[in-house]
Chains A and B, each alone.
Chain A
């Protein structure tokens, strides 16, 4: 198949023509071009049609995905498909903005996250993307380090390569990487589906947070030559998590797996326990492979993690507060931090440090939206030692003091924080300051 040059015109199925501007890159399945169509710029993925097992079915699947629409804006979803041209075809998607980097660059330490907050945001966005995708009846099928772009500053994520995405029960023979596949897919026992996606999601989340591979440690390093048979063993038949609770065979190796050794020691237990569950023998190759950690559970974990993230008053770095104790130790400088007021609402506990935000998922009784800020901790301008919670929710909150006296606070007003204060956010969703 020839490569297109600038000016090449190709008919788009829904009408009109696209025009090729330049080649952006090439992958296993095709070439990606920058093109213009209807006065706007897009990315065009053009297939090597001989690399597709059943190109007619593939074409129809993309058409179907276009019809159904992107699950969330994090997906670089197909928006238009071309007509067949010189025996092949392609689809149009949004161009990736340049501040988004390949995830593989983070793994290669060429790009670094700005901090924990960005990492948590990335984890939340990937998790939510998959949750919505799965709720719409799709499975992704081929998640790996080449499938998403991340903004290192903010943690915003774009998920690409959505052409393998298929509705439940359908699967394309995909030539993924076993490093990211569920064990039962590696061994050929199952075709990719929602459950196998959940495994791949856990791998990606682990790599995002701990910047090493969850199944690569002492045991896998012992083999000088990683043949396809050994890959099948390490990722399919007998995978062992590096921090497995019961099996110490595959621990991280000092000086080599440096990131996870350091980071694992700093993250709160509830995060580590979730990964230990996700990569337990049971969840990998045992009886729980259809009951893996769900996106909803990951979402709760990362919201909880964000809720206890705070800036250390001594060194100004990000740290986690242990809210079950009166004080915490900074993960960076080691100094003791007296825990601030804590807002307990629904199942959440939020460390109310200055500038901490609370979100719709906290204050609105039936919301899971962790993106929309609804309140923020501010310091009094007249008495800087006094902290308050500013209502930015657009509706009134009622504060009830421990002696029963209550007062209503409109949006824009600030509630002075006091121990024992109750805040009524509405619809029987009550919070308490601890």
Chain B
């Protein structure tokens, strides 16, 4: 027996990835269908990222909101064990209620309770409409929450009717809001954000060492996420315009 046979893993922190999904009636059809399959398909990749990451493990929590809001699991589930249950869409858009529920769980006595500590979470909101409840109260409360304030926050505005101002307020920045108009785009963005937010959120950061020396502003994980979204936006536009895009798949 060797001295190193019984080493145990170096304690990792936990990074919780939150999906906050609008399941109001307007999402019914291809929107919720795309959300379901895009998330389902990307989960194994998140499990891989978590598995090979010695800095932190990734856990997932999902909150759906329509008439009221509901957690899909009673605790965050490790990415390896997480299964995405297909969501159905009906009812109104109680975003305020979702904010309150999120606020309640973003606490050391609720979801953020790992003994080895956590990195700030990544929170990913998807919505296609206008809040129907008094979202102001809930959102203001949530914005006081320290976990929320430190989180990586990204929102996807699905279609023309999404209230982008509210989403920008949630994400803290209009650049962290992504507009999508087609199912293809929606899928691409969900997967991109899920992967990159997981990777950035779950790794030891550069702690701002790249920030200009002298300034006390630290480049945050959220800043990095936003830069990546911007450069991906440029890239996707380039892709969409590329008439030779499907060359790869053609056989000659």
A contact residues vs B (CB 8 Å cutoff): 1-2, 5, 28, 50-51, 102, 104-109, 112-116, 118-119, 145, 173-181, 185-189, 207, 211-213, 216, 220-221, 223-229, 231-232, 235-236, 256-259, 263, 266, 317-318, 331-332
Q: Is the CB of A256 within 8 A of B11?
A: yes
Cβ of B30 < 8 Å from any Cβ of A?
no
Q: Is the CB of A225 within 8 A of B150?
A: yes
Chain B residues with a Cβ closer than 8 Å to the other chain, count = 52
Q: Is the CB of B54 within 8 A of A145?
A: yes
Q: Is the CB of B235 within 8 A of A1?
A: yes
**Among candidates B3, B199, B239, residue contacting A28 with C-beta atoms closer than 8 Å:** B199
CA distance A229 to B150 in the complex (A): 10
Q: Which of A207, A225, A235, A318 has the largest count of B CB atoms less than 10 A from its CB?
A: A225
Q: Is the CB of B203 within 8 A of A213?
A: no
Complex A-B: 17 CB contacts under 8 Å: A50-B235, A105-B52, A108-B9, A109-B10, A112-B6, A177-B203, A178-B204, A188-B211, A216-B11, A224-B108, A224-B112, A225-B119, A225-B147, A228-B218, A231-B205, A231-B207, A317-B1
**Among candidates B4, B206, B208, residue contacting A115 with C-beta atoms closer than 8 Å:** B4
Q: Is the CB of B11 within 8 A of A225?
A: no
Q: Is the CB of A332 within 8 A of B52?
A: no
Closest A residue to B199 by CB, please name it. A28
Closest A residue to B248 by CB, please name it. A5
**Among candidates A174, A221, A331, residue contacting B3 with C-beta atoms closer than 8 Å:** A331
Q: Is the CB of A221 within 8 A of B204?
A: no
**Among candidates A114, A176, A179, A185, residue contacting B55 with C-beta atoms closer than 8 Å:** A179
Q: Is the CB of A225 within 8 A of B146?
A: yes
Closest A residue to B118 by CB, please name it. A225
Q: Is the CB of B208 within 8 A of A188?
A: yes
Cβ of B13 < 8 Å from any Cβ of A?
yes
B11 surroundings in chain A (CB, below 8 A): 212, 216, 256-257
Taking the closest CB of chain B, its distance from the CB of A19, in whole angstroms, is: 15
Taking the closest CB of chain B, its distance from the CB of A174, in whole angstroms, is: 8
CA distance A1 to B54 in the complex (A): 28
CA distance A175 to B3 in the complex (A): 35
Known: A107-B9, A224-B108, A259-B7. A318 touches B2 (CB 8 A): yes
Taking the closest CB of chain B, its distance from the CB of A298, in whole angstroms, is: 20
Q: Is the CB of A228 within 8 A of B3?
A: no
B4 surroundings in chain A (CB, below 8 A): 112-116, 118-119, 211
A119 surroundings in chain B (CB, below 8 A): 4
**Among candidates A174, A180, A226, A332, residue contacting B13 with C-beta atoms closer than 8 Å:** A226
CB 8 Å contact bits of B180-211 with A (1 = contact, 0 = none): 00000000000000000001000111111111
A227 surroundings in chain B (CB, below 8 A): 120, 150
Q: Is the CB of A109 within 8 A of B7?
A: yes
Q: Is the CB of B204 within 8 A of A231?
A: yes
Cβ of B241 < 8 Å from any Cβ of A?
no
Taking the closest CB of chain A, its distance from the CB of B135, in whole angstroms, is: 25
A228 surroundings in chain B (CB, below 8 A): 205, 207-208, 218-221
**Among candidates B13, B115, B213, residue contacting A189 with C-beta atoms closer than 8 Å:** B213
Q: Is the CB of B7 within 8 A of A211?
A: yes
**Nearest 5 CB-CB pairs, A to B?**
A177-B204, A178-B207, A107-B54, A115-B2, A179-B204
Known: A225-B120, A225-B147. A266 touches B8 (CB 8 A): no
Closest A residue to B112 by CB, please name it. A224
**Among candidates A178, A221, A229, residue contacting B206 with C-beta atoms closer than 8 Å:** A178
CA distance A174 to B213 in the complex (A): 14
